[in-house]
Structure 1
């Protein structure tokens, strides 16, 4: 059972929608006895050749902190570009009277540097990464909206959120237009989407020679590391904010954005609503309605928490380190609750770690789908069990022949560590299991009879 705090902050999604269909919410994703089928959105029948994505592999050594010199060296180019940063608002923005304000399409996004000698490290990070961050305008299924993305390859593969590319599950055949920071606009097709990771890849038509994002090793991050966010909050393309890594190894449970012909794992019957739900927001002019399509379940995501300002429209955008490398894909923010109106940043934002995002993106490009591990157990939070003496994910039952049973796990065991990551409850365990592909090996620490033991299991495949 997932405990729900009496007072909590609920994350919301960050693609900025202009219009929506209506629907109803559903609740939390866990390891369950009856695994669902997590089919991808409609993708081209042929397999796509995977591009070479820049950056460190997940096993790369921890990064070395460098000086700001190499990044600030790029400011000469940024300063020569000139112009006005940002551009017009492309979707509804809340005015003081609550009425929507609609502006012109975003202009080319340049980096204005009036005094290069006094530029900051953040300016250097933006100069390096801004050309590889794009704005997506999506329509279909009776909805439309915008979000952000990052360029993976010079021939136009772009990574974004699934809820951006499918308009929160409203369509599996979206019409997508992508605007680059230099003002060029490309039509794009959906290559593949993954509602379990809330990630999707689109391909720009006729693109070549594009700037690409560089990946960092998200496993090498420390709490307190500097972060920079680039995206299109409220349609304001090329907006920048900065902060620090507030926490690592967080897990949140959010409503799935699976399209109608997809399915995601159902919440166990005895579970309560998860405290995190980043879909819960209103659009001006739709008060009293729920603009979202009916979802078939929820998903648990591993995330990096940051205090950098993130707002609707930032979804799919870049969370960067102090060397201008991608450490996460922006996915959600927490809100303090309240009634009416689109909520803004309160300094609690979440991003999908770059190592996880890179793994899923590679599979989507190669196959149109991505795989996820399955432990084969029903779990609850141990803190809700009066007999538990340690925090973790309490196994209620195991699936015959599943990974948990084959590894010797049984009902009553409390899993406390998964592949080196501390496990505080069922959402943590589910999120970490999903990070790994099907067939991967994982080392678990569990407590049985007051004694900690360790076991290595080979995960099954979430269907």
Structure 2
């Protein structure tokens, strides 16, 4: 069969988060909650009624001409032997040879499978996080065979995808999606799907139509993620795959409730990786090192899973690009963005364990007025937090950061999301220019709760900062 398993072809708000530098470049993917500018991205707003599009025009047809006749005076030559004809004795010899080769190939193939494939399968099943409480790749909900078509994957994952209704003032204020991450009733979704719900409770609608009261265990506007718990055991959790293994062009499936249409499946590919997406507004900003996909994602898909060809979740759909002038006009234009599954795993486990989530920081403030290459640490007093990771590593005010782990940085948002995509205690290598020379400085990240700026007396949200002594993001924004 074809190697490709696929045929060719938001809810508003978010909790407390921080904004980027005051000057955001036009090329930065920006998500607004109320009135985004033309060609900006938006969080997926509440589901709305779908509108039927125009039919595409029919394609052109091509005429084929009969083959040309040979000239009349062409000399007659003896008939050449007809291709493809063999003597019966030759047929017998070929048949006998085929049997011998087939037998040898079968035995050799069986030996190779036992020696290599089975060993690799056993080895891979033993890998994964030994401390993770969420399902790993060895517990996938579907068998990894060449039958992993869109239909097979959709049928397997659909029972674990839910709709979430945000009730405010006794009325449904918004609707989004989510999916089961633990058999004892834990569900992962976006923060902006559950934000502002009455008494931190939502209504969870399963794929079979049954409804449950859900309690928001915890949420973070910094990553736009939330965990909801329902009182039900024996659920089938979806596997959070390894998003670090994604490459551009990988096939993906989006599942959710776009425009209020439950159990909707769309397909596409990974269009790009490491897109710096800021979701929310100045009062609540999430910084996402996002997966970009052309799978159709619409309002109501927020919090739903983005699935790979093995039936594993590799992203949580969170934002879309819009050509409209308001979030109510937003629709799929082939530019959707998802939070990586590796980030979602770390955040979800922390929320389940403690009810809240932290994020890693470097501990500097950046100069938002700087327009040169890279991003500049503000050349002011206390721009490098005393006792923070940057100070311990030797970063100084006025340093220009041009790359992180070898990846070139041109805007502050790129550096923020690259830091946010890491875990506390991870070590990153910053390429720094100082006084005309370039050096690489290793910095070990710490949780944001461990860094305090003397000039603000507040914790630094991203571990970076803005110009004029303003933190980036500013905790007050």
What's the counterpart of residue 22 of structure 1? Answer: none
Question: In 1, distance between residues paired with 2:386 and 2:133?
Answer: 40
Cα deviation for residue 52 of structure 1 reads 2.8
More helix by share: 2
1:54-90 residue CA offsets vs partner (Å, 9 max, x unmatched):
1259xxxxxxxx975243xxxxxxxxxxxxxxxxxxx
Cα deviation for residue 16 of structure 1 reads 1.5
Gaps of 5+ in 2: 1-20, 28-36, 49-130, 449-458, 460-477
Q: Root-mean-square deviation (CA), in Å?
A: 2.7
Contact 1:153 1:212 (8 Å CA) reproduced:
yes
- Say whether 1:337 aligns with 2:312: no
Which of 427, 437, 448 aligns to 2:413? It is 427
What's the counterpart of residue 101 of structure 1? Answer: none
Contact 2:376 2:401 (8 Å CA) reproduced:
yes
What's the counterpart of residue 220 of structure 1? Answer: 245
What's the counterpart of residue 205 of structure 2? Answer: 179
Contact 2:221 2:284 (8 Å CA) reproduced:
no
Q: How does 1:150-161 map to 2 (within 5 A)?
A: 150-161=179-190
What's the counterpart of residue 475 of structure 2? Answer: none
Contact 2:166 2:193 (8 Å CA) reproduced:
yes
Question: In 2, distance between residues paired with 1:419 and 1:209?
Answer: 42
Question: In 2, distance between residues paired with 1:188 and 1:303?
Answer: 27
Cα deviation for residue 340 of structure 1 reads 7.9
Question: In 1, distance between residues paired with 2:424 and 2:132?
Answer: 22
What's the counterpart of residue 53 of structure 1? Answer: 134
Cα deviation for residue 163 of structure 1 reads 0.6
- Say whether 1:11 aligns with 2:41: yes
What's the counterpart of residue 230 of structure 1? Answer: 255
**CA distance 1:420–1:173, shift in 2 (3 Å):** farther
Q: How does 1:217-366 map to 2 (within 5 A)?
A: 217-255=242-280, 296-338=283-325, 341-366=328-353
SS in 1 for 2:347: helix
Cα deviation for residue 243 of structure 1 reads 0.9
Question: In 2, distance between residues paired with 1:329 and 1:317?
Answer: 6
1:282-324 residue CA offsets vs partner (Å, 9 max, x unmatched):
xxxxxxxxxxxxx634232211111111100000001111111
Contact 1:51 1:152 (8 Å CA) reproduced:
no
Question: In 1, distance between residues paired with 2:193 and 2:335?
Answer: 20
Contact 1:380 1:425 (8 Å CA) reproduced:
no
Question: In 1, distance between residues paired with 2:397 and 2:330?
Answer: 42
Cα deviation for residue 252 of structure 1 reads 1.3
Cα deviation for residue 211 of structure 1 reads 1.2
What's the counterpart of residue 292 of structure 1? Answer: none
TM-score (norm. length: structure 1):
0.65
**CA distance 1:427–1:298, shift in 2 (3 Å):** same
**CA distance 1:454–1:172, shift in 2 (3 Å):** farther
Contact 1:139 1:174 (8 Å CA) reproduced:
no
Q: How does 1:52-91 map to 2 (within 5 A)?
A: 52-56=133-137, 69-71=146-148
1:323-360 residue CA offsets vs partner (Å, 9 max, x unmatched):
11100001000112336842101111100000000100
**CA distance 1:365–1:238, shift in 2 (3 Å):** same
Structure index of larger Rg: 2
Cα deviation for residue 180 of structure 1 reads 1.4
What's the counterpart of residue 124 of structure 1? Answer: 152
